[in-house]
Structure 1
Amino acid sequence: MTDLTIIPAGKSLQEPVFEARHLINGTWQTSADGASFERQSPAHLVTVTHAAKGGVAETEAAIASARTAFDDGRWSRLSGKSRATVLLKVADLIERDLERIAMRDTLESGKPIAQARDEIAGAADLWRHAAALARTLTGDSHNTLGDDMLGVVLKEPVGVAALITPWNFPFLIVSQKLPYALAAGCTAVIKPSEMTPSSTVILGELLIEAGIPDGVVNIVLGYGDPVGTTMCESEHVDMVSFTGSTGVGKAIVRASAGTLKKVSLELGGKNPQVVFPDCDLDDAADAIVFGVYFNAGECCNSGSRIIVHEDVAEALTEKVVALSRKVAFGDPLDPKTKVGAIISEAHFAKIDSYVEAAREAGAEIPLGGGALEIPGLSGRFYGPTVVTNISSGMAIAREEVFGPVLSVLTFKSIEEAIELANDASYGLSAGVWSRDVSTCLAFARRVQAGTVWTNTWMDGYSELPFGGVKQSGLGRELGRYGLEEYLEVKTVTMRIGRTRAPWVE
């Protein structure tokens, strides 16, 4: 793969090791037993973070803090204006510290620094959008129940929200949850991924600086067991919001079942893009390349499954392979890099196992399939990979690879295309490429997905809800629907005056 675009290591890594602690009731704490863990940069294989490792004691203390803070009303009973004021301050502070936050996410996740900067800027916009919703939250009234009756529907915060976030977009995804929970009036306990804890800790610092009351937001660092498990099982937690794999999502539902708490899940995807022969193939190829290599394919929205009409399949594949060779893989600290390192050794092996299994089953691999050497770096990099001549029954065509690997299938008719698109247990996102608006609308209406893009891929806005169907999750994030996840509905039925006839004479 010597004809690929490689960005070698630039200047040596000189960032200090980040010291991360828990935030409980407004104070930064180490673990009671002194336990800790380290995180290495996946691109450099050197330690970049030293973090406190939470257990049951720290998790229960954080939950108790959030419970008290919610019940005494220090946040939940504030006006929407007062909550919005704090959220807007947080947005300003995020922009002020953008470089610092982006650097930590790059060092811990291996993502390119330019992408990390864009994500942090996008996160600031989410905080501002949530602030606007905090001031415009409304219920309903019903004045058609009779002259002597008035019905009022109130929307109230659900209570204590446990937010469990993943490693692939550490700061962006916590910002898809926390500001909306806070806008609703909830308090929160956050568990970031043990692989990317630092930017969430920095967010805790900014929340304190912005004036968030003690106990409203708590952060516990550590592993899913026991931290996440304790959150899910606790009777003092009213809701769990999780982003991650479908398998872990199912475990969270089981762990939460004992208390019947509300659960919101944003899970995996095997997202199809259906390409019709009348579309602009150059535009489609560029979007396909972006969709599969963005964040090294470690993205629930990855456009990893292309379903292309057989008349243009060969031409489109050639364009995609040619563009793939131009995508800059390499040093994540170089602003020119488009694709960085793979998050862990185990995940690298998982990606490669899908490709090798497809090869053994008779698939063709016109590009990639294996490790990529980056001069000056000792970390884990997987090369751009395109897999063709596959059937819909192969694992690589049905399961979430979560790496820079594109699967290409073909179709003859729109009926077959829709059948292939829906032939998966996931239903997060889908795309359609055609100049015919009728074709696009027919596909959008019939495909089983929470988001459908037409002649584009992965455009996102704070105003538009995001989430999946089938095994891609429960509930929605972003937009007004994202706020609604953190609310409960209460009906108040009011009789005006003494007009009710006696039940007992």
Structure 2
Amino acid sequence: MNQMNIISDQTVALPNKAYQARHFINGVSQDSFDGQKSNRISPSHGVVVSQAALGTAVEAEVAIAAARTAFDDGRWSRMSGKERATILNKVADLIEANVEQMALIETLESGKPIAQARGECGGAADLWRYAASLARTSHGDSHNTLGADILAVILKEPIGVVSIITPWNFPFWILSQKLPFALAAGCTCVVKPSEMTPSTTAMLAGFLVEAGLPAGVCNIVLGFGDPVGSLMTTHADVDMVTFTGSTAVGKMITKSAGDTLKKVALELGGKNPQVIFPNCDLEGAADAVTFGIYFNVGQCCNSSSRIIVHEDIADAFVARVVELSRQVAFGNPLNPETQVGAIVTPEHAEKINTYVQAAAEAGAEICLGGASLMVPGLGDQFYQPTVMRDVTPDMAIAREEVFGPVLAVLTFRTLDEAIALTNDATYGLSAGIWCDDVHTCLDFSRRVQAGTVWTNTWMDGFPEVAFGGVKQSGQGREIGSYGFDEFLEVKSLVMRVGRTRAPWVKTA
């Protein structure tokens, strides 16, 4: 403990009053019909930072109806790509103009460091701008080789009403991986953010109005998964559900959405490895591993929560990661120097600790951390940077998503063994390899079961590059042109030129 870099002071002041988050239905911000609200207590500062309207099935029904009407009457779906792009670009400008307010409330609701919240909210504007570019450049296909009298055209049309359900760990970034792409495609939407981090999504409503989005095109309903989210995934007027969250909830959504055969896109959990070979930039790899496990307090689906290190360098590499971990700035999220903040809830902190203690009892060694972290003036809803070695593949900490600042270390001797360990998981979101031999990197990248593979880097992402997982990490893709296509249906239009069709019925 006394060797860790703990930051207790803050440079950003707490707001004077709690933010009031409201529903946004058919172009109007409103409270719940029954007046109910929920309070969000900051995991880092222990104060009520936001009060959100607590929705019920009533608000969800009205929002879905508004989205259905807005889609069917064509106010958005039949608008030109240029017009849609203009509005999306205006939203991007408004996001950038309000980053500081958004980052402050997101930091207090989630516990993440304010520097990371600023990067998340400000960086999300780039997703909106890229989606705007797709609105103007989307096109279908044509077939002009079917005969002199036939022309076929392949159209891409918006899928319809989309339910968007987002998590608490990256509330605005993940919303922006979905919503602008759905809007760019011409869909109308109903959005439900996590009840723990509703405010930046609620703030977006004002930007949408100011940018000129027609009423009913995007609706926001705040509240719990039951009843709001459950109705959004089962309602007959919803054509598609896109959800980011736990694999367990994703499975439930798939089952419930099956009754109406609506499309489902899921971005779920991960147990993502970085494989470290001796012939690589070991210092760069150690820094990337440290970043990969502690970024966003390890509460990240792309967290590199397990590393697979060659036996020849395991001792030295783990020692270097431990040394770097001691230098990572943990503590007050309202200090821009802080790199790791608070755990989202006390219950989640206890869940993290349960994984760590079970692994220790099973024979894993705690090289660093392994308990809650007390930050002066803020309490103990923080968890120490934790590194565990002598982890075996059968341990829960090596197989299940801990979702915290806990690194599990396994070892290997051959490439085949490293690939087998990588693929020995129910998840398949991302994986990484550190090696100076390009042939090894290519072989690894083609054989591992993951939606994204990074070589000699970790968690580099771009709006142009699709994101998503295989196996129980999800289905479908987000961002990039592939993520945009998720919100489109393909329609074939076959046209006969002239009256050349031979009659089927032979008349006398």
TM-score range, shorter chain: over 0.9
2:2 is equivalent to residue 8 of structure 1 = no
Alignment-derived partner of residue 480 in structure 1: 481
Write the letter of the residue equivalent to 1:6: I
3-state DSSP of counterpart to 1:299: coil
Partner letter of residue 135 of structure 1? R
- Structure 1 residue 109 and structure 2 residue 114: aligned? no
* Mapped contact 1:277–1:434 kept (Cα < 8 A): yes
Query: Which residue does the alignment assign to 2:243?
Result: 242
2:431 is matched with 430
Aligned to 2:63: 62
User: Is 2:332 aligned against 1:331?
Assistant: yes
Within 5 Å, which residues of 2 pair with 1:73-472?
73-378=74-379, 380-472=381-473
Q: Tell me if 1:492 matches 2:493.
A: yes
RMSD, aligned α-carbons? 0.8
How far is the alpha carbon of 1:379 from its aligned partner?
5.1
- SS of 1:214 mapped into structure 2: coil
Deviations 1:443-480 (A, max 9, x none): 00000000000000000000000000000001000100
C-alpha distance in 1 between matches for 2:270 and 2:50: 30
What is the alpha-carbon distance in structure 1 between the residues aligned to residue 370 and residue 391 of structure 2?
A: 15
- On the 8 A contact 2:29/2:205 being kept in 1, the answer is no
Q: CA deviation at 1:223?
A: 0.2
Query: Is the contact made by 1:371 and 1:382 (CA closer than 8 Å) also made in structure 2?
Result: yes
Q: TM-score normalized by structure 1?
A: 0.99
Q: Percent identity?
A: 66
Q: Distance in 1 between matches of 2:238 and 2:105?
A: 30
The DSSP-based 3-state class of the residue aligned with 1:441 is helix
Say which SS state the counterpart of residue 397 (structure 2) adopts: helix
Shift of residue 45, structure 1, vs aligned partner? 1.1
How far did residue 15 of structure 1 move? 4.0
Separation in 2, partners of 1:331, 1:501: 78
Contact 2:160–2:187 (Cα < 8 Å) also in 1: yes
How many residues are treated as equivalent by the alignment? Answer: 505
Could you give the per-residue CA deviations for residues 106-131 of structure 1, whole angstroms, max 9, x where no partner exists? 01000000011111121000000000
User: What is the 5 A alignment of 1:22-61?
Assistant: 22-61=23-62
CA distance in 1, matches of 2:144, 2:160: 29
Partners of 2:103 and 2:389 in 1: CA distance = 36
Measure the CA separation in 1 of the matches of 2:391 and 2:35: 51
Superposed displacement of residue 378, structure 1: 2.4
**Where does the alignment leave 5 or more consecutive residues of structure 2 unmatched?**
none
* TM-score of the two chains, using structure 2 as the length reference: 0.99
Comparing 29-38 and 214-223, the one that deviates more: 29-38
Instruction: Output the amino acid matched with 1:476.
Output: R
Unpaired runs of 5+ residues, structure 1, are: none
Quick one: distance in 2 between partners of 1:15 and 1:2? 34
**Pairwise CA distance, 1:16:** 1.9
Secondary structure of the equivalent of 2:433? strand
The answer to whether the Cα contact below 8 Å between 1:264 and 1:474 also exists between their aligned partners in 2 is yes
Contact 1:9 1:377 in 2 (8 A): no
Structure 1 runs of 4+ aligned residues shifted over 4 Å read none
**CA offsets 1:176-197 (integer angstroms, 9 cap, x no match):** 0000000000000000000000
Shift of 1:9: 3.1
User: Which stretch of structure 1 is more off in the superposition, 372-381 or 358-367?
Assistant: 372-381
Partner of 1:21: 22
CA distance in 2 between counterparts of 1:330 and 1:250 reads 35
* Partner SS, residue 9 of structure 2: coil
Aligned AA for 1:84? A
- Structure 2 CA distance, aligned partners of 1:257 and 1:88? 35
User: For residues 50 and 153 of structure 1, do their structure 2 counterparts lie closer, same or farther at Cα, with a shift above 3 Å needed?
Assistant: same
Instruction: Using the TM superposition, give the Cα deviation of residue 104 of structure 1 relative to its aligned residue in structure 2, in angstroms.
Output: 1.1
- The answer to whether the 8 Å contact 1:392/1:398 transfers is yes
The amino acid of 2:432's aligned partner reads G
Q: Deviations over 1:204-226 (max 9, x none)?
A: 11111111001111000000000
Amino acid at match of 2:2: T
Letter matched to residue 265 of structure 1: L
The Cα offsets for residues 132-176 of structure 1, whole Å up to 9 and x where unpaired, read as: 000000000001111111111000000000000000000101000
Kept in 2: contact 1:45–1:379 (CA 8 A):
no
